[in-house]
Structure 1
Amino acid sequence: MRLLFRADGNATIGLGHVVRSLALVDMVRTVAPCWFAIQNPSAAIRELLGQAQVTLLELPVQPIAQEAAYLAAQVQPNDVVVLDGYSFDTAYQHTLQTSGCRLVVIDDLRAWPSAADLIINHSPGVTPAMYQARAETRFCLGPDYSLLRAPFLAGFRLPAPPTPAEKVLICFGGADPLQLTSRFLAALLPVEAVAEIGVITGSAFPHTPQLQELAAGYPRKQVTFYQNAAAPQMADLLQGHDAIVCPASTILIESLFLGKAVATGYYVENQRHLATYVHENQQAFSLGDLNNIAVGDLQAILTEALYYLEHHPRQPYVQAPGPGRLQNEFRHLLPAGPEIVP
């Protein structure tokens, strides 16, 4: 028996699907040995997989439609295959199931009918009725099933009381193809109340010299750059800042689990729901569609967000983490074994 994870990540789409899948690996690795299948893994992804202690199954570079048949030939009937990505449509899923495997889909898009035995979506406000799924499909939906790495689950805390945002951390993912990091750093540097700024990027981010040049124009401002932060360091960095500026992706959920004040927003459609939800439920402040904020308006809008976070109590995103629930769901997919307590 294996748990075989399939996700992609690169400089174009970022590493979010890979990181999220590896978070699930952390939660369920006691259920069965974990493998990870991917095409053309970069050095950064190889490092992540090595840190996660999963076995790499490197797939030939080929169109997704052809890959499904290739992967199905590598899969055994007792395996559980976990898909996380926006290319693994209904046809791909049906092809995989010809191997006899059980299928788990991490699906926050809901764009096509699903053949999965188990659907996971840790976005809030989602119900089974929103999916086109089989009658016997099981669901793990909502923040109680948040796919976070161990340091963020271990560091869980309820929201801290409002505090001045003197130390602000910016993180727009490892690749940041839209260069939002640069735009937000340029807007934040002139804000007098912010004394220290941390900037997190990944190995796929090519514009660090430009960021450093921006920061050099404000010699009295302490700006620190971090690259390729592993999960324990990332958790420490989030904890060490008063406010976080990030998109409505996994890093938003990580920050909320650590009780942090967050200014967020969305730049792709699948982030819109989470950004809206946390704003409406007073869990974070959403700037809305980050693509539509004019450069000249960004500083004022960001200042407004920080002021709000400094003066308004926040509601918890979840009351307590519960990774044991996902472990039990995966055990249901394998030959009968003892159930663990969440």
Structure 2
Amino acid sequence: MRLIFRADGNSTIGLGHVVRSLALADMVRAVAPCWFAIQNPSAAIRELLHQAQVTLLELPTQPTAEEAAYLAAQVQPDDVLVLDGYAFDTAYQATLRHRGCRLVVIDDLRAWPSEADLIINHSPGVTPAMYQARPHARFCLGPEYSLLRAPFLTSFRLPAPPAPIAKVLLCFGGADPQQLTRRFLAALLPLESVREVGVITGSAFPYTPQLQELAAQHPAKRVAFYQNAAAPEMVALLQGHDAVVCPASTILIESLFLGKAVVTGYYVENQRHLAAYVQEHEQAFSLGDLNTIAADDLQATLAQVLQRAAHQPRQPYVLAPGPERLQAEFRRLLPAGPEIVP
């Protein structure tokens, strides 16, 4: 019996699916051995998988439909297959289900009917009625099922009281193909209230020299660069800054779990819901669509939002983390557990 996680990550799509799948693997590794299936893993991803203590199942590069048949031939009926990605549609899932294995999907798109036995979506405000699911499918929906790595769960804090913001942490993902990091760093450095800026990138980020040149133009400001920060280091960095500027992705949830003030927004469609939700529920401060903010307006907009964050109390994103039910749901999927309706 194996738990096989299927996700991809690279410099184009980022590492979000890989990171949250590994977080889930860490939560449920007591249930069964964890494997990770992925195409073309880079050296950085191989190291990430090694650190996570999962067994690599490297997949050949091939179209999605052909991959489904290939992967189905690699799994056994006793395996549980966890899919996290936007290419694993109904047809892909059905091919694997015909093999007899149990299926789990991490699905924040709700774009097609699901063949899964268990559907996970840690986005807020989502209900089972929003899915086209199998009659006996089970659900783990909402922020209490946030797929975060162990250091973030153990460091959980309710929102800190408002306080002056002098140290800001920027994190727009490991790859940041839109180069939002540079735009926001350029807007933050001239702000008189901001004394220090931390910048987090990943191994797939190619623009660090340009950022360093930008920082050199503001010698009065302290700018520190961090790359490939492991989870414990990420926790320390988030805790060591007064506010975080990031997209409405996993880094936003990690920051909220640590009680931090966050300025967020979205640059792809699947981030829009979370950005709007945390704004509406006064949990963070959203700038909306980050792609549409004019460069000339960004500095003033950031100054205004950081001023609000320094004075406005925030509501908790979740009252307490609860990964225990996720582990219980995975135990149900194993042959030794309650019978699964086919």
Q: TM-score range by the shorter chain?
A: over 0.9
2:155 aligned residue: 155
SS of the residue aligned with 2:296?
A: helix
How far the C-alpha of 1:76 sits from its partner, in A, is 0.3
Structure 2: tracts of 5 or more residues without a match: none
The residue that corresponds to 2:59 in the other structure is 59
In structure 2, the residue matched to 1:296 is 296
- AA paired with 1:113? P
Q: Which residue of structure 1 lines up, in the alignment, with residue 49 of structure 2?
A: 49
How far apart are the structure 2 equivalents of 1:65 and 1:183?
Answer: 39
Task: Give the equivalent residue in structure 1 for 2:125.
Answer: 125
Q: How does 1:111-260 map to 2 (within 5 A)?
A: 111-260=111-260
Aligned-pair distance for 1:337?
A: 5.3
CA deviation after TM superposition for structure 1 residue 188, in Å: 0.2
| Structure 1, 282-291 or 329-338: larger mean CA deviation | 329-338
Instruction: Verify: 1:80 aligned to 2:80, yes or no.
Output: yes
**SS of 2:197 mapped into structure 1:** strand
Cα shift at 1:30: 0.4
Counterpart CA distance in 2 for 1:89 and 1:174 is 26
Match of 2:97? 97
SS of the aligned residue for 2:120 comes to: strand
Q: CA deviation at 1:162?
A: 0.5
RMSD between aligned alpha carbons? 0.8
Shift of 1:304: 1.1
Equivalenced residue count is: 338
Residue 286 (1) aligns with residue 286 (2): yes
% same residue: 81
d(CA) in 2 for partners of 1:278 and 1:305? 14
- State how far apart, in whole Å, the 1-side matches of 2:330 and 2:57 are: 21
Shift of residue 33 of structure 1?
Answer: 0.1
Q: Aligned pair 1:28/2:54, yes or no? A: no
TM-score, structure 1 normalization: 0.98
Q: Which AA in structure 1 matches 2:244?
A: I
What residue is the counterpart of 1:267 in the other structure?
A: 267
Whole-Å Cα distance in 2 between the matches of residues 214 and 31 of structure 1?
A: 48
Q: Deviations over 1:190-238 (max 9, x none)?
A: 0010000000000000000000000000001000000000111011100
Runs of 5+ in structure 1 lacking a partner?
none
Q: What do the CA deviations read for 1:306-337 (whole angstroms, capped 9, x no partner)?
A: 01110000000000011111000100101335
Structure 1 counterpart SS, 2:310: helix
Question: Which runs of 4 or more aligned residues in structure 1 lie more than 3 Å from their structure 2 counterparts after TM superposition?
Answer: none
- Distance in structure 2 (CA, Å) of the matches to 1:261 and 1:325: 28
